[in-house]
């Protein structure tokens, strides 16, 4: 079974995470496909809007931990960073439909989406510090801009999960809906946008996003360098060992 589904219909490209047996955890191969498809969609005039979605009970658990530990990103050309740059540079409307857990990159990728609709069962988390790591996807830049410095500090420093109603109040999502309605609603919004002038949509998005694009790319690169350094450190080793052993980590010597 394909771990990511791509459906192009009526000007809307729908990308569906389809690895529910592994909680839609993302692998290097999946990141590579996502990056390739986003680049292709950006160049294809028949694609006017892109929707990223999961299922009614699950968006994504973030990185596939087992693969991540066995083959961590070696440099900024790794597939995950290709995907992040493709997100940051995508010139057309990008919509996310989020239900259930959205862990790590499942939350940070939303900062690159133009519209986010979620189910009332959505649960967002940014557990980087708790894993001995640091923010990624330019979230150290974009999250404070989106929700304010104080709220961003709380979410990034504690890494505690927060629910859909708080995400809406903070401005991270546009609307909260019953889970069974989220994907259909996102599709309806995408079809509305697909019927509008494509050049006007791109120009409007560029005006909203382009002024900070250099800063976003710089943040992605800076975070990646620090992420790689921390990944080799004692705190990350302890965090992932504890995760695999299903025990509480001990950071007293980290």
Burial of residue 211 (number of CB atoms within 10 Å: 0-12, 13-18, 19+): exposed
pLDDT at 72: 81
Q: What pLDDT digit, counting tens, does each position of 88-97 carry?
A: 999 999 999 9
Q: What pLDDT digit, counting tens, does each position of 3-44 carry?
A: 999 999 999 999 999 999 999 999 999 999 999 999 999 999
Mean pLDDT of all residues in 215-240: 94
Single pTM value for the model = 0.96
96 HSE (CA, 13 A, CB side): 26
User: Cβ distance 55 to 19 under 8 Å?
Assistant: no
The three-state DSSP-derived secondary structure of 37-74 is: HHHHHHHCCCCCEEEEECECCECECCECHHHHHHCCCC
Q: What pLDDT digit, counting tens, does each position of 163-178 carry?
A: 999 999 999 999 999 9
Backbone angles phi, psi at 117, to 5 degrees: -115, 135
Q: What pLDDT digit, counting tens, does each position of 131-165 carry?
A: 999 999 999 999 999 999 999 999 999 999 999 99
pLDDT at 1: 59
Distances in Å between the Cα of 146 and the Cα atoms of 16, 56, 141, 183, 253 are 25, 26, 9, 23, 35
Backbone angles phi, psi at 50, to 5 degrees: -125, 135
At 81, list the tokens.
């960073």
- Domains in the chain, please, with CATH? 4-177 (3.90.226.10)
């Amino acid at each position: 079974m394909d771990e990511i589904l791509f459906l192009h219909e009526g000007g809307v490209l729908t990308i569906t995470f389809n690895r529910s047996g592994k909680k839609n955890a993302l692998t290097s191969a999946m990141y590579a496909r996502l990056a390739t498809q986003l680049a292709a969609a950006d160049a294809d005039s028949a694609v006017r809007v892109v929707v990223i979605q999961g299922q009614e009970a699950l968006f994504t658990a973030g990185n596939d931990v087992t693969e991540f530990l066995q083959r961590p990103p070696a440099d900024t050309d790794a597939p995950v960073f290709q995907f992040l740059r493709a997100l940051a540079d995508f010139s057309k409307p990008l919509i996310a439909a989020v239900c259930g857990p959205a862990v790590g990159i499942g939350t940070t990728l939303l900062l690159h989406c133009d519209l986010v609709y979620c189910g009332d069962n959505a649960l967002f988390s940014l557990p980087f510090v708790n894993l001995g790591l640091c923010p990624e996807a330019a979230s150290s830049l974009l999250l404070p801009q989106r929700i304010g410095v104080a709220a961003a500090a709380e979410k990034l420093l504690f890494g505690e999960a927060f629910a859909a109603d708080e995400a809406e109040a903070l401005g991270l999502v546009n609307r909260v809906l019953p889970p069974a309605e989220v994907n259909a609603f996102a599709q309806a919004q995408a079809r509305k946008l697909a019927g509008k002038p494509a050049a006007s949509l791109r120009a409007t998005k560029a005006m909203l996003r382009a002024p900070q694009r250099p800063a976003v790319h710089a943040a992605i690169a800076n975070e990646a360098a620090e992420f790689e350094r921390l990944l080799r450190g004692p705190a990350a080793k302890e965090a992932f060992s504890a995760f695999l052993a299903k025990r509480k980590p001990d950071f007293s010597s980290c």
